[in-house]
Structure 1
Amino acid sequence: MKWMSFKHEGQEKYGVYVPEKKGAAVISGQKNTPASLLEAIQESSLAALLTDNLDHLPFVAEGDIEWLAPIPRPSKNVMCVGKNYRDHAIEMGGEASVPEHPMIFTKAPTAVSAHLSPIPAHRSLTDALDYEGELAVIIGKKGKEISRENALDYVFGYTVLNDVTARDLQKRHSQFFIGKSLDGSCPMGPWIVSKDEIKDPHQLAIETKVNGEIRQQSTTAHFIFPIDEIIHVLSKGMTLEPGDIIATGTPAGVGFAMEPKKTLQPGDTVQISIESVGTLSNTVE
């Protein structure tokens, strides 16, 4: 299933994207349904909301909706893995910067935005705005001290995420949070694909284009730290909860590492496509 959140006629709703009909089967507002997709994930009630036939649900055409991030306001910071592709670690700092353990940082919940939402240029703050195409994991059930063997059992699904980064702020403050958390700097979507539709999350092609030019092209097979290890490490001393978001890192090809640098400019459109998941598109305003 492709779980999505959206606005229709001014009301926030959620449902399932129906590709053959190019629109959404609406779940919210039906009898005894949670108010949001996040609440439905937290209550583990999604299976009970559906039958094999979506025709009994109200339908809204794609042209009549305003996209929201699948989880418009996460309950905690988005957790991110830095330098999880060897080629990206090398392009940003040489061989010595390849990590021995997962490098974790976070993005503020207020940074989250949707498919087709503009990316603010924040020109008064930065002139080095960059893109990072990533696969993001959505946690489906509460867990702590999760073993690697059981880690994927805690996954609800996967989405596409753009870890937009102000490189100059990242350097100036000697940490990642401010440079990673500007408003609108965490587009994600267009939906969450349930994990049963992804045969192997470590065999997915990922590609980022800026104005149609391919900038990043790789596969999740090149992760340094696979998803099961990331979940295992994060959960050692911290409880993971339903709806938590983990961005798994970006491959080589970011604009800041190019010569000359190709950071984002107003009017640039970034499209990130991940095999079996979808395409996220946003334009810098």
Structure 2
Amino acid sequence: MKLLSYEFEGASRLGALVDDGVVDIGRRLGVNSLRHLLEAGKLGAATELVGAQPDHVLGDVAFLPLIPDPAHFYCVGVNYADHLKEVQDAGIVRPKPKHPSLFPRFPESLVAHDRPLQIPKVSDEFDYEAELAVVIGKGGRYIDEADALNHVAGYTCFNDGSVRDWQYHSSQVTSGKNFWQTGGLGPWLVTADEIPDPGCLDIKLLLNGKTLQDSNTRHLIFNVAQIIAYASALIPLKPGDVIATGTPSGVGFSRTPPIFMKAGDICEVQIEKIGTLRNTVEKAVG
């Protein structure tokens, strides 16, 4: 099942994708967001509505970030072996991590599928990062690794747009990862029953139709279950929390010469069994 957050006639809604139509499951179940659906434990009830008559044609709705208001949004830094090597080759001292390197993303930094990513006016070093993102369906603290995937509602695509010069202003990366409207999230949630093994998914990034990242989640240093178990020790995870699992090699700053996104570019994240997250790029005016 594919679930999407969208806007129609000025209202935020929650839908299920059926062919090229959208079933307004939020209205039928009395919830107004994917986060609220998961908090209410109604994911199972949503599956019973997939056969309903669509309320909208997909082309008539505007996508919203899949989870517009996550209580927690964690990203994992340098979590592919090939990306670790390219970071080291770029002259950055970075040993192989012993634990997942977590940093936060703020909701204001997110944009939806088919919405523009914003290059901040204070930088031109705006980089792309294709990532598999995990949406938590059942919360908890000190979650056992063996049970971690049972806490997953589903998976989506994430583009961890990174302002590289600001990222390296200090030893922590948070400033370069949280500029306004720099991270794409979507287009929809593919429920976990359709992806029983998130550790074997092809993942690609295309910039203006050219493939710049091409890998598979089997190359993750820390897999999805390990990341969930680790993150749950900090603060109890909640339904609707998002965890982005890291990006493979091929990012722009490590290339010679570097490739950074420019106004007018089209950036796409493609993940097997999920689909394509597409965003244009524009220079912010404020």
Which residue in the other structure is 1:235 paired with?
Answer: 232
Equivalent runs, 1:179-198 vs 2, <5 Å: 179-198=176-195
Which residue in the other structure is 2:75 paired with?
Answer: 80
Given that 2:87 and 2:94 are in contact with CA atoms closer than 8 Å, whether structure 1 keeps it comes out as no
User: What is the aligned length?
Assistant: 279
Given that 1:206 and 1:220 are in contact with CA atoms closer than 8 Å, whether structure 2 keeps it comes out as yes
Runs of 4+ in 1 over 6 A off after TM superposition: none
1:154 to 1:36, Cα distance in 2 relative to 1, 3 A: same
Larger CA deviation: 99-108 vs 46-55: 46-55
Which residue in the other structure is 2:38 paired with?
Answer: 41
Partners of 1:79 and 1:156 lie apart in 2 by 16
Deviations 1:182-234 (A, max 9, x none): 11112110000000001310000001000011100000000000111111111
Equivalent runs, 1:1-285 vs 2, <5 Å: 1-19=1-19, 22-30=20-28, 32-51=29-48, 54-55=51-52, 57-76=53-72, 78-94=73-89, 96-122=94-120, 124-285=121-282
TM-score normalised to the size of structure 2?
Answer: 0.94
Q: Secondary structure at the match of 1:98?
A: coil
Partners of 1:164 and 1:49 lie apart in 2 by 32
Deviations 1:36-84 (A, max 9, x none): 22101111112124426522x55200111001111112223x2011110
Partners of 1:53 and 1:44 lie apart in 2 by 17
Given that 2:82 and 2:248 are in contact with CA atoms closer than 8 Å, whether structure 1 keeps it comes out as yes
Given that 1:33 and 1:49 are in contact with CA atoms closer than 8 Å, whether structure 2 keeps it comes out as no
Q: Secondary structure at the match of 2:172?
A: coil
Q: Secondary structure at the match of 2:171?
A: coil
Given that 2:18 and 2:50 are in contact with CA atoms closer than 8 Å, whether structure 1 keeps it comes out as no
Given that 1:4 and 1:192 are in contact with CA atoms closer than 8 Å, whether structure 2 keeps it comes out as yes
Shift of 1:97: 3.1
Shift of 1:128: 0.5
Taking only aligned residues, the RMSD between alpha carbons, in angstroms, comes to 1.4
Partners of 1:211 and 1:280 lie apart in 2 by 13
Partners of 1:18 and 1:98 lie apart in 2 by 43
For structure 1, the residue ranges without an aligned partner over 5 or more in a row are none
Partners of 2:96 and 2:264 lie apart in 1 by 33
Shift of 1:100: 2.0
Percent sequence identity is 40
Q: Secondary structure at the match of 2:83?
A: helix
TM-score normalised to the size of structure 1?
Answer: 0.94
Letter in 2 for 1:88: H
